[in-house]
Structure 1
């Protein structure tokens, strides 16, 4: 598909039911690993829209290097418009939480429900959580002197973890899971333009948990007890007004390692979702 500013995005549509846009993480990853490792189970009840963000995966780069949060949100709106549905679900994994929650804040009338799966709303919080986990695991003493040193300290911690061949621990206790994920990620050439720019863009370093109290859509938070990539307690900072939390035993790849529980949780949320068209009509009538 072409975005409203002319960038070609990879998009695959599959399934049945209400449209649901999957917003992948990274920054700069892609949607294929989620789809291939069990995320497609959602197609039983939802029409899934798998897209790769601009400058990511199988999508084209922005010719003017526009990877701003505003533009990434507009890309989601372009996909929502393409569905032909006034309201859609969003499933966001990892860094995708930043993009999806910002979309819900701006375009809440078009969101039937927001599903945050192992999602971060603060990159710096999650980088600090990863550093703390490395220190705990290795007995190391990587410190963060100030906000400007979070990324260099994180990279130092990852080097230590790599030297011990334990980087898989950030995603799962099961090395085979991460091996499968890596094999999918290496299966074809990918675009890394967004990945190379995102962590250098100050707007993505903001703490978006502070905006959650202003989001009025129904929200399902699915979090893992051992998700050291995000921080197992990160969800406790969320203040969505209509929030349901499901804590599942596991790490950052719950959609694969706890696939049945993941699917049942999402389908339960979808089944309980109110008719937001009626809610919006009633709200409009009350405003008159």
Structure 2
């Protein structure tokens, strides 16, 4: 693709990542809560801290479900964004029916930034497995959003026996394909910016990180994700509540390790039911890579939210909650 490492450094320095990582009920009857003493200690309501793989991770359990129902772990995007906005804005619609687990990945949200700078996709996957063991359950459900889709897919491929069902929401599954989608958008909407991206890509490539300078690049990313600017404002307010910020440390490390060339390849190992939810106007991931993911998984379905962007839980919150709760209740993908 001809992407240069300076593109990654420039994007991180500008605070522009490839991906950013969003009240009532959804109309699904709530289950009677399990008695607290019937749950493993790690799965009881409230915030938890646990040291795994040399780092202190923070997670919070909220919601009700039968005691034997697998909890649903939310894997946030960014990289490095934290779980706070999804928990605040989507959680209240999901928790009446699901036992949700909001984990902040290492270097994100309320979790520790590792002193030795230990970040990698395999290590983040092992953090999820350590969380499952801490929860004391044989299987978990997963919602992977944006970069969280990378971790969801890789975790499910390595530990398929521990995943009951999985939702990939605006999830990254093929970075080169998503970057091509961004370049195709530039070709349709801004020929001058497209020419700059092609020139920067070299060897017939296209580097959308080089389409604009400074703040204009950030606005390009925002337009790709937010058809409605008010959604962006709501998400940013929730993300920064309580002084939390994406430091860029996790993202910088993952990009430098080759995220721009990452593709998921172990589709045949994901035999559990998978629901792929895509926004029609999510130009950051692109619709075609998400269609391709659903086609290649053994037991998956794609639902496209008309007019939706990168954060469907804000663009269409009631539909998102209905789809998620019904799916984890056992409805087959369709």
TM-score where L is the length of structure 1: 0.86
How far has the Cα of 1:266 moved from its partner? 1.2
Candidates 236, 241, 256, aligned match of 2:291: 236
Task: Describe the superposition over 1:21-63 as per-residue Cα deviations: whole angstroms up to 9, x where unpaired.
Answer: 0001112211111122224421121111111111122211122
Q: Which runs of 4+ in 1 moved over 4 A?
A: 163-167
Question: Secondary structure at 1:261's aligned position in 2?
Answer: helix
Q: 1:70–1:168: structure 2 CA closer, same or farther, 3 Å change rule? A: closer
Mark the CA change 1:82 to 1:126 in structure 2 (over 3 Å): closer, same or farther: same
Q: Which runs of 5+ in 2 are unaligned?
A: 1-48
Task: Report the CA distance shift for 1:154/1:58 in structure 2 as closer, same or farther (over 3 A).
Answer: farther
Structure 1 vs Structure 2 CA RMSD: 2.3
Query: Corresponding residue for 1:154?
Result: 208
Matching of residue 87 in structure 1 with residue 142 in structure 2: no
Change (3 A) 1:39 1:233: farther
- Matched with 1:194 is 250
Displacement of 1:158 in angstroms is 4.8
Moved more, 117-126 or 32-41: 32-41
Q: What is the CA deviation profile of residues 221-279 of structure 1, one whole-angstrom value per residue up to 9, with x for unaligned ones?
A: 111111111001111221111112111111111011101111111122122258xxxxx
Classify 1:215/1:167 alpha carbon distance in 2 versus 1 (closer, same or farther; 3 Å): closer
Q: Does 1:205 align with 2:261?
A: yes
Q: Which runs of 5+ in 1 are unaligned?
A: 275-288
Q: Distance in 1 between matches of 2:183 and 2:176?
A: 11
SS at match of 1:12: strand
| CA distance 1:164–1:262, shift in 2 (3 Å) | closer
**Does the C-alpha gap of structure 1 residues 126 and 166 become closer, same or farther in structure 2, counting only changes over 3 Å?**
closer
Q: Say whether 1:263 aligns with 2:321.
A: yes
Deviation at 1:214, TM superposition (A): 2.6
**Is residue 275–residue 300 contact of structure 2 (8 Å, CA) maintained in 1?**
yes
Tell me what 2:13 maps to.
Answer: none
CA distance in 1: counterparts of 2:315 and 2:176, whole angstroms = 26
